[in-house]
Amino acid sequence: MDNSHSQFGGQSKIRWLIEKTSEDWVNLAISNPMEILLDHAHCERKAAGVALQLMFRYVSEPGLSAVLSPLAREELEHFERVLSILNSRGRKLEKLVSPPYGAILAKNIRKDEPRRMLDSFLVAGLIEARSHERMTLLSIHSPDLELRNLYSDLLKSEARHFGIYWRLADERFDRNTLTSRLEELAKVESDALVEMHQEPRMHS
Ligand SMILES: [Fe+2]
Ligand SMILES: [Fe+2]
């Protein structure tokens, strides 16, 4: 697995992800566009929360807030954009049962520093990479033009966010430590999707 950031130029080059998303997921997602949209709104809200949480946890870490603050703002803009489409289609931000994905990844973040910081960056980056991959699929396969446009706009940011978390890790940890831990967590990430949650979700 070659994980260098420079590899991450195009949509098919997400080297972080061990397993590609299945066709079954794509079919389930495009047959349930409103549920995916609602879940997507929650994902953007949570992505903003993760960036803020890291910024607050490592408040004195040089260079971190300067990167994570605009990232959190951008995720909130995504949230607002998805929310406005939901509202325009007569839906609100209803509660939704989350798939086990996020909890499984969170459980694999080690508790002791600095390993906690490394794992937190890598897990956040993996989620961004998966979001990017899935939005790319939706931007191609969704039969709904407004949604295709939404996903194709947002996926570019998710690619950049993946790069941001990679750089945050790469600036602070040696490359061998980073890549070997990334491989372990990438396996956890792909396995978390194997037992597919029955409900249509961005990360089921
Ligand atoms: Fe986003
Ligand atoms: Fe993102």
Residue 28 in any domain: the answer is: yes
State pTM to two decimals.
0.91
Nearest of 131, 126, 132, 77 to residue 104 by alpha carbon: 126
From its phi and psi, is residue 93 left (phi > 0), alpha (psi between -120 and 50) or beta? beta
26-31 CB contacts, 8 Å cutoff, 24+ apart: 26/137, 26/138, 26/141, 28/200, 28/204, 29/134, 29/137, 29/138, 29/200, 29/202, 30/138, 30/141, 30/142, 30/143, 31/200
Rounded Cα distance between 135 and 147, Å, is 10
Q: What is the pLDDT of residues 38-87, one digit of tens each?
A: 999 999 999 999 999 999 999 999 999 999 999 999 999 999 999 999 99
Per the structure, the count of domains in the chain is: 1
Which residues, other chains included, contact 56 with Cβ-Cβ below 8 Å and sequence gap of 6+?
A: none
Residue 12 in any domain: the answer is: no
What residues have their beta carbon closer than 5 A to ion ligand 2?
A: 47, 128, 158, 161
Per-chain mean pLDDT for the chain: 90
Residue 175 in any domain: the answer is: yes
Identify the pLDDT of residue 39. 96
pLDDT: is 177 or 204 the higher one? 177
Ligand 2 geometric centre to CA of 150 (Å): 14
- The CATH number assigned to the domain holding 158 equals 1.20.1260.10
Residue 13 in any domain: the answer is: no
Residue 150 in any domain: the answer is: yes
Ligand 2 geometric centre to CA of 60 (Å): 23
Residue 7 in any domain: the answer is: no
Identify the pLDDT of residue 195. 66
Ligand with the closest atom to the CA of 150: 1
Residue 145 in any domain: the answer is: yes
Q: What is the pLDDT of residues 174-196, one digit of tens each?
A: 999 999 999 999 999 999 987 66
Find the domain containing 100 and state its range: 20-194
Residue 199 in any domain: the answer is: no
Ligand 2 geometric centre to CA of 75 (Å): 6
Ligand 2 geometric centre to CA of 198 (Å): 24
